[in-house]
Amino acid sequence: MNQTYIYKNEQQLGPFDDSTILQSLANGTFSWSDLCWRENWEGWKPLDSVYPKPSFVQAPISMSKTKMEGFSIASLVCSLLFLGIPAIICGHIARSRIKRDPVNYGGAGMALAGLILGYIETIIPLFVLVVPIAIYTLAGNIDVSKEQRASSDIQSISMQLRTYEMLNYQRPTTEQGLNALVELPSINPIPEHWKKLMDSIPKDPWGHEYVYHNPGQFKSDSYDLYSLGPKGVEGDGK
Protein backbone atom coordinates (compact mmCIF):
# COMPACT_ATOMS: atom_id res chain seq x y z
CA MET A 1 0.00 0.00 0.00
CA ASN A 2 1.34 3.41 -0.97
CA GLN A 3 2.18 5.69 1.95
CA THR A 4 2.13 9.31 0.81
CA TYR A 5 3.18 12.50 2.60
CA ILE A 6 1.31 15.75 1.92
CA TYR A 7 2.77 19.28 2.04
CA LYS A 8 0.02 21.81 2.81
CA ASN A 9 0.13 25.28 4.37
CA GLU A 10 3.89 24.98 4.93
CA GLN A 11 3.41 21.79 6.98
CA GLN A 12 4.28 18.18 6.19
CA LEU A 13 1.38 15.85 6.99
CA GLY A 14 1.03 12.09 6.92
CA PRO A 15 1.76 9.52 5.79
CA PHE A 16 -1.67 8.70 4.33
CA ASP A 17 -2.91 5.81 2.20
CA ASP A 18 -4.54 6.38 -1.20
CA SER A 19 -8.05 5.94 0.16
CA THR A 20 -7.58 8.65 2.78
CA ILE A 21 -6.06 11.07 0.27
CA LEU A 22 -8.91 10.53 -2.23
CA GLN A 23 -11.41 11.04 0.56
CA SER A 24 -9.65 14.26 1.63
CA LEU A 25 -9.64 15.52 -1.97
CA ALA A 26 -13.35 14.78 -2.24
CA ASN A 27 -14.29 16.61 0.98
CA GLY A 28 -11.96 19.55 0.36
CA THR A 29 -9.43 18.88 3.17
CA PHE A 30 -6.71 18.60 0.50
CA SER A 31 -6.65 20.46 -2.80
CA TRP A 32 -5.36 19.18 -6.13
CA SER A 33 -2.55 21.76 -6.04
CA ASP A 34 -1.15 20.47 -2.73
CA LEU A 35 2.18 18.64 -3.01
CA CYS A 36 2.81 14.96 -2.26
CA TRP A 37 5.84 12.72 -1.86
CA ARG A 38 6.58 9.01 -1.52
CA GLU A 39 9.69 7.09 -0.67
CA ASN A 40 12.17 6.84 -3.56
CA TRP A 41 10.68 9.90 -5.32
CA GLU A 42 13.18 12.56 -6.31
CA GLY A 43 10.96 15.43 -5.25
CA TRP A 44 7.49 16.67 -4.39
CA LYS A 45 4.68 16.47 -6.97
CA PRO A 46 1.25 18.08 -7.23
CA LEU A 47 -1.56 15.75 -6.25
CA ASP A 48 -3.24 16.18 -9.64
CA SER A 49 -0.15 14.67 -11.31
CA VAL A 50 -0.42 11.51 -9.19
CA TYR A 51 -4.16 11.07 -8.74
CA PRO A 52 -6.42 11.59 -11.78
CA LYS A 53 -9.01 14.32 -11.43
CA PRO A 54 -12.54 12.98 -11.82
CA SER A 55 -14.30 14.26 -14.93
CA PHE A 56 -17.66 13.82 -13.25
CA VAL A 57 -19.11 14.11 -9.77
CA GLN A 58 -18.34 10.86 -8.03
CA ALA A 59 -19.66 9.52 -4.79
CA PRO A 60 -17.38 9.81 -1.82
CA ILE A 61 -15.15 6.80 -1.32
CA SER A 62 -15.96 5.20 2.02
CA MET A 63 -16.13 8.68 3.51
CA SER A 64 -16.36 8.79 7.30
CA LYS A 65 -17.40 11.83 9.30
CA THR A 66 -14.64 14.01 10.78
CA LYS A 67 -14.68 13.51 14.53
CA MET A 68 -14.64 16.43 16.90
CA GLU A 69 -11.51 16.26 19.05
CA GLY A 70 -12.70 15.67 22.62
CA PHE A 71 -10.02 17.86 24.18
CA SER A 72 -11.29 20.80 22.08
CA ILE A 73 -14.69 20.49 23.72
CA ALA A 74 -13.09 20.04 27.14
CA SER A 75 -10.95 23.15 26.64
CA LEU A 76 -13.91 25.35 25.74
CA VAL A 77 -16.09 23.95 28.55
CA CYS A 78 -13.33 24.49 31.15
CA SER A 79 -12.81 28.07 29.96
CA LEU A 80 -16.55 28.78 30.27
CA LEU A 81 -16.40 27.44 33.84
CA PHE A 82 -13.45 29.78 34.56
CA LEU A 83 -11.04 26.84 34.93
CA GLY A 84 -8.17 28.58 33.17
CA ILE A 85 -5.31 26.11 33.61
CA PRO A 86 -7.28 22.96 32.62
CA ALA A 87 -8.60 24.89 29.61
CA ILE A 88 -5.05 25.73 28.54
CA ILE A 89 -3.83 22.14 28.95
CA CYS A 90 -6.77 20.63 27.04
CA GLY A 91 -6.48 23.28 24.32
CA HIS A 92 -2.82 22.52 23.65
CA ILE A 93 -3.44 18.74 23.58
CA ALA A 94 -6.36 19.19 21.15
CA ARG A 95 -4.42 21.43 18.76
CA SER A 96 -1.48 19.01 18.80
CA ARG A 97 -3.72 16.05 17.88
CA ILE A 98 -5.57 17.96 15.18
CA LYS A 99 -2.27 19.09 13.67
CA ARG A 100 -1.06 15.47 13.49
CA ASP A 101 -4.29 14.15 11.95
CA PRO A 102 -6.40 16.95 10.40
CA VAL A 103 -8.33 14.48 8.23
CA ASN A 104 -9.99 12.61 11.06
CA TYR A 105 -10.14 15.29 13.77
CA GLY A 106 -11.75 18.73 13.80
CA GLY A 107 -12.36 21.44 16.37
CA ALA A 108 -9.22 23.56 15.96
CA GLY A 109 -11.26 26.77 16.32
CA MET A 110 -12.93 25.52 19.47
CA ALA A 111 -9.56 24.57 20.96
CA LEU A 112 -8.17 28.01 20.10
CA ALA A 113 -11.15 29.73 21.73
CA GLY A 114 -10.65 27.63 24.88
CA LEU A 115 -6.94 28.48 24.92
CA ILE A 116 -7.50 32.23 24.59
CA LEU A 117 -10.15 32.32 27.32
CA GLY A 118 -8.01 30.07 29.52
CA TYR A 119 -4.99 32.35 29.26
CA ILE A 120 -7.13 35.44 29.94
CA GLU A 121 -8.70 33.80 33.02
CA THR A 122 -5.25 32.77 34.31
CA ILE A 123 -3.22 35.91 33.59
CA ILE A 124 -5.69 38.61 34.67
CA PRO A 125 -6.09 37.31 38.28
CA LEU A 126 -2.29 37.01 38.56
CA PHE A 127 -1.93 40.57 37.26
CA VAL A 128 -4.55 41.84 39.74
CA LEU A 129 -2.72 40.05 42.57
CA VAL A 130 0.88 40.90 41.66
CA VAL A 131 0.54 44.59 40.70
CA PRO A 132 -0.76 45.84 44.09
CA ILE A 133 1.96 43.84 45.87
CA ALA A 134 4.62 45.34 43.60
CA ILE A 135 3.27 48.87 44.13
CA TYR A 136 3.13 48.38 47.91
CA THR A 137 6.68 47.02 47.97
CA LEU A 138 7.97 49.86 45.80
CA ALA A 139 6.24 52.47 47.94
CA GLY A 140 7.77 50.90 51.06
CA ASN A 141 11.24 51.03 49.52
CA ILE A 142 10.76 54.70 48.61
CA ASP A 143 9.72 55.51 52.19
CA VAL A 144 12.76 53.69 53.58
CA SER A 145 15.01 55.58 51.17
CA LYS A 146 13.55 58.93 52.27
CA GLU A 147 13.96 58.06 55.94
CA GLN A 148 17.59 57.13 55.30
CA ARG A 149 18.19 60.44 53.53
CA ALA A 150 16.60 62.38 56.41
CA SER A 151 18.83 60.55 58.88
CA SER A 152 21.88 61.35 56.74
CA ASP A 153 20.91 65.05 56.57
CA ILE A 154 20.48 65.24 60.34
CA GLN A 155 23.88 63.65 60.92
CA SER A 156 25.53 66.10 58.51
CA ILE A 157 23.85 69.14 60.12
CA SER A 158 24.74 67.83 63.61
CA MET A 159 28.41 67.62 62.64
CA GLN A 160 28.37 71.29 61.54
CA LEU A 161 26.60 72.28 64.76
CA ARG A 162 29.42 70.66 66.74
CA THR A 163 31.97 72.55 64.61
CA TYR A 164 30.03 75.81 65.24
CA GLU A 165 30.10 75.08 68.99
CA MET A 166 33.86 74.39 68.94
CA LEU A 167 34.53 77.71 67.17
CA ASN A 168 32.14 79.88 69.19
CA TYR A 169 31.78 77.96 72.50
CA GLN A 170 28.03 77.77 72.01
CA ARG A 171 25.47 76.47 69.56
CA PRO A 172 23.05 78.69 67.59
CA THR A 173 19.97 79.61 69.59
CA THR A 174 16.47 78.59 68.51
CA GLU A 175 15.89 82.13 67.23
CA GLN A 176 19.13 82.15 65.19
CA GLY A 177 18.20 78.74 63.80
CA LEU A 178 20.17 76.50 61.46
CA ASN A 179 20.69 79.43 59.12
CA ALA A 180 23.53 80.46 61.48
CA LEU A 181 25.55 77.73 59.75
CA VAL A 182 25.10 79.53 56.40
CA GLU A 183 25.37 83.26 57.29
CA LEU A 184 26.41 85.37 60.26
CA PRO A 185 23.52 85.74 62.73
CA SER A 186 22.16 89.26 63.11
CA ILE A 187 20.67 88.70 66.56
CA ASN A 188 22.44 88.09 69.86
CA PRO A 189 24.49 86.33 70.83
CA ILE A 190 26.69 87.28 67.86
CA PRO A 191 29.45 84.64 67.45
CA GLU A 192 33.00 86.05 67.60
CA HIS A 193 34.62 83.39 65.45
CA TRP A 194 31.84 82.76 62.98
CA LYS A 195 32.67 80.78 59.87
CA LYS A 196 30.42 79.68 57.01
CA LEU A 197 29.97 75.94 57.48
CA MET A 198 27.27 75.10 54.93
CA ASP A 199 26.20 76.56 51.58
CA SER A 200 22.54 76.00 52.41
CA ILE A 201 20.37 74.06 54.82
CA PRO A 202 18.68 71.17 53.01
CA LYS A 203 14.98 70.50 53.32
CA ASP A 204 13.88 67.05 54.40
CA PRO A 205 12.89 64.49 51.70
CA TRP A 206 9.24 65.56 52.02
CA GLY A 207 10.01 69.23 51.32
CA HIS A 208 9.81 70.56 54.88
CA GLU A 209 12.32 72.51 56.97
CA TYR A 210 14.19 70.54 59.64
CA VAL A 211 13.08 71.54 63.13
CA TYR A 212 15.81 72.91 65.45
CA HIS A 213 15.48 73.91 69.10
CA ASN A 214 18.29 75.00 71.41
CA PRO A 215 17.85 74.36 74.26
CA GLY A 216 15.88 71.29 73.29
CA GLN A 217 12.26 70.69 74.16
CA PHE A 218 12.88 66.96 74.37
CA LYS A 219 16.55 67.16 75.45
CA SER A 220 16.89 70.03 77.93
CA ASP A 221 20.65 69.57 78.25
CA SER A 222 21.19 69.47 74.48
CA TYR A 223 19.30 70.45 71.33
CA ASP A 224 16.51 69.00 69.16
CA LEU A 225 16.99 68.39 65.45
CA TYR A 226 14.41 66.38 63.56
CA SER A 227 12.17 66.13 60.50
CA LEU A 228 8.42 66.59 60.64
CA GLY A 229 8.04 63.52 58.43
CA PRO A 230 5.74 62.94 55.43
CA LYS A 231 2.77 64.84 56.85
CA GLY A 232 4.79 67.86 57.97
CA VAL A 233 3.21 67.99 61.41
CA GLU A 234 4.58 67.56 64.92
CA GLY A 235 4.42 64.00 66.14
CA ASP A 236 5.13 62.49 62.71
CA GLY A 237 8.86 63.26 62.83
CA LYS A 238 11.68 60.90 61.92
- For the cut 90, the answer to whether the pLDDT of residue 184 exceeds it is yes
Kindly indicate the confidence band of residue 52, based on its pLDDT and cuts at 50, 70 and 90: confident
Amino acid at 118: G
Q: Which of 69, 68, 89, 67 is nearest to 78 (CA)?
A: 89
Please tell me the predicted confidence (pLDDT) of residue 62. 46
Amino acid at 125: P
Model confidence pLDDT, tens digit, residues 87-111: 999 999 989 888 888 878 888 899 9
Helix pair 84-100, 70-80: axis angle to 10 deg: 160
Kindly indicate the confidence band of residue 161, based on its pLDDT and cuts at 50, 70 and 90: very high
Q: How high does pLDDT run on average in the chain?
A: 86
Tally of residues, the chain: 238
Kindly indicate the confidence band of residue 136, based on its pLDDT and cuts at 50, 70 and 90: confident
CA dist 173 and 12 (Å) reads 90
Q: What is the reported pTM?
A: 0.42
Helix pair 108-168, 84-100: axis angle to 10 deg: 130
